[in-house]
Structure 1
Amino acid sequence: MDTITSMVAEKPVVIFSKSTCCLCHSVTSLIRNFGANPTVHELDTMAEGQQIEEALLQMGCRPSVPAVFIGQQFIGGSKKIMSLHVRN
């Protein structure tokens, strides 16, 4: 959990993702289309990716990716982001 806290503290928009996940790619593209430049951490390419994924699950992110943090706050996964987008 401390690792996630320090990773999201560094940038205004952070997405935890997997390089093979189409929902992760879609959410990242959507956020970029709003003009944001998110920092994307591909968990499947990181040495500590499994531990970060487990911490995301403990935080309540189901499934674990994509997990979007804005302003150091956990916003949600793909369902939440798409829901917010539809509601503007």
Structure 2
Amino acid sequence: MERVTRLSAEEAVVIFAASNGCPTNQAVTTLFSSLGVYAAVHELDKDPCGRELEHELACASREPIPVVFIGGKLVGSTNTIMSLHLSGKLVPLLKDAGAM
């Protein structure tokens, strides 16, 4: 989990995803973009250590990719992010992390 922890702390919002144009990847990145939030995206299938990262993520969470970290903390997958947004809890979380 060492590398995931390091990478997830480099930016306020970090997404670990696949680069295959998956609609869930698109949804979460579009949401952050529409909120004016920069999200660092690590494409696991393009990273030489992608399989290792994917294994670390699987050990840390049962969430499917994309997996989102905010403020260095694991928040969850697209469903979790969308639920937080719809409940009005995402923006305060982003502000607390310094993303907004």
Query: TM class, shorter-chain normalised?
Result: over 0.9
- Between the aligned partners of 1:61 and 1:27, the Cα distance in structure 2 is 18
Q: Which amino acid aligns with 1:31?
A: F
Structure 2 unaligned segments of length 5 or more: list them. 89-100
SS at match of 1:32: helix
Q: 1:49: which partner in 2?
A: 50
Q: Does 1:13 align with 2:26?
A: no
Corresponding residue for residue 59 of structure 1:
60
Question: Aligned with 1:6: secondary structure?
Answer: helix
Q: How does the TM-score come out when normalised to structure 2? A: 0.82
Q: What root-mean-square deviation, in Å, do the aligned CA atoms of Structure 1 and Structure 2 show?
A: 1.0
Q: Where do 4+ consecutive residues of structure 1 move more than 4 Å?
A: none
Q: Which residue in 2 is equivalent to 1:31?
A: 32
Q: Give the aligned partner of residue 72 of structure 2.
A: 72
Give the aligned length: 87
| Maintained 8 Å contact 1:15/1:38 | yes
Query: Match of 2:74, SS?
Result: strand
Larger C-alpha radius of gyration, 1 or 2? 2
